[in-house]
């Protein structure tokens, strides 16, 4: 992990670009506290003094584990060892089940106050109109829960151009705004945090695909009706 992150952020620096990393600690871990600590250390050392936007995905562990403790320690490690990194906690899974106040309480326990903010709709198809409203309300409740009014809410807009049936590789998903950013944290920011054309799995309009596989037909389908 350390070498891959280092190479990616160094390449971005040479091109004078802002590297964006969406990383899932559980992709290579067994939810153990030692594994989490090692993973965060490798990511932090890979970024080092470079600037980077890092989205930390979070999923349920199948076995009991002190996720709150591990995430808090990991975030603090990143802030100390990669001071130029802008860290966003992925609240997508939480937002599926809870309203903004509930999400804010959970994120407060994960040391969101030590981050740049949160990401929502990562890999999903919710329209920008909906994520705009949700993001504004989430920002308000985060400010109340943490005392910080400068936490940003960034929505994945790669597949949020229109209201969609959602689900798995839905046929009516459309591409969203590539980059809508401002200095005002009270507005929902928009970035492509998922590569358009990446499959959700063997379902919907790509029944023979695998999760994470790039399918050209999915990418072109997102452009249907786009001028």
Domain end marker among 89, 115, 144: 89
Q: What's the structural domain count of the chain?
A: 2
pTM for the whole thing? 0.90
Distance CA 182, CA 119 (A): 15
**Are 213 and 120 in the same domain?**
yes
**Are 56 and 120 in the same domain?**
no
CATH number, domain with residue 123 = 3.20.20.40
**Are 177 and 192 in the same domain?**
yes
**Which segments of 91-153 does DSSP mark as H helices, in order?**
92-97, 100-109, 128-146
**Are 102 and 203 in the same domain?**
yes
Nearby residues of 70 by Cβ (< 8 Å), 6 or more positions away = 33, 36, 37
* pLDDT higher than 70, residue 219: yes
Give the count of beta carbons closer than 10 Å to the beta carbon of residue 199.
22
Mean pLDDT over each residue of the chain, to the nearest integer: 88
**Are 154 and 109 in the same domain?**
yes
Greater confidence (192 vs 179) lies with 192
What does the pLDDT read at residue 190?
A: 96
Domain end marker among 35, 60, 89: 89
pLDDT tens, position by position, 98-135: 899 999 998 988 889 999 999 999 999 999 999 999 99
Q: For residue 120, what are the β-bridge partners?
A: 155
User: Residues 121, 164, 216, 190: is their CA dihedral positive or negative?
Assistant: negative
**Are 225 and 122 in the same domain?**
yes
**Are 129 and 227 in the same domain?**
yes
**Are 107 and 57 in the same domain?**
no
Q: For residue 180, what are the β-bridge partners?
A: 190
**Are 55 and 109 in the same domain?**
no
pLDDT tens, position by position, 26-80: 665 666 777 778 888 999 999 999 999 999 987 665 554 566 777 788 888 888 9
Domain end marker among 69, 89, 109: 89
What does the pLDDT read at residue 167?
A: 83
If we measure between CA atoms, which residue out of 223, 171, 216 comes closest to residue 198? 216
**Domain coverage including residue 216:** 91-227
* pLDDT higher than 90, residue 217: yes
**Are 82 and 95 in the same domain?**
no
């Amino acid at each position: 992990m350390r070498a891959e992150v280092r190479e990616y952020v160094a390449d971005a620096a040479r091109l004078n670009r802002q590297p964006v990393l969406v990383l899932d600690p559980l992709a290579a871990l067994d939810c153990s506290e030692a594994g989490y600590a090692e993973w965060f250390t490798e990511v932090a050392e890979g970024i080092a003094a470079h600037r980077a936007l890092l989205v930390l995905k979070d999923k349920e562990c199948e076995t009991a584990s002190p996720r709150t403790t591990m995430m808090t320690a990991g975030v603090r490690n990143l802030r100390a060892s990669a001071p130029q990194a802008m860290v966003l906690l992925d609240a997508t899974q939480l937002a599926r089940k809870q309203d903004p106040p509930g999400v804010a309480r959970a994120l407060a326990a994960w040391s969101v106050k030590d981050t740049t903010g949160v990401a929502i709709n990562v890999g999903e198809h919710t329209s920008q109109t909906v994520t705009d409203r949700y993001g504004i309300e989430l920002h308000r409740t985060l400010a109340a829960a943490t005392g910080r009014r400068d936490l940003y809410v960034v929505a994945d807009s790669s597949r949020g151009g229109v209201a969609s049936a959602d689900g798995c590789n839905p046929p009516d998903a459309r591409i969203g705004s590539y980059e809508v950013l401002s200095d005002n944290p009270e507005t929902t920011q928009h970035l492509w945090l998922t590569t358009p054309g990446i499959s959700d799995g063997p379902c919907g309009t790509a029944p023979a695909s695998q999760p994470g596989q790039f399918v050209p037909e999915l990418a072109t389908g997102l452009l249907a009706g786009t001028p």
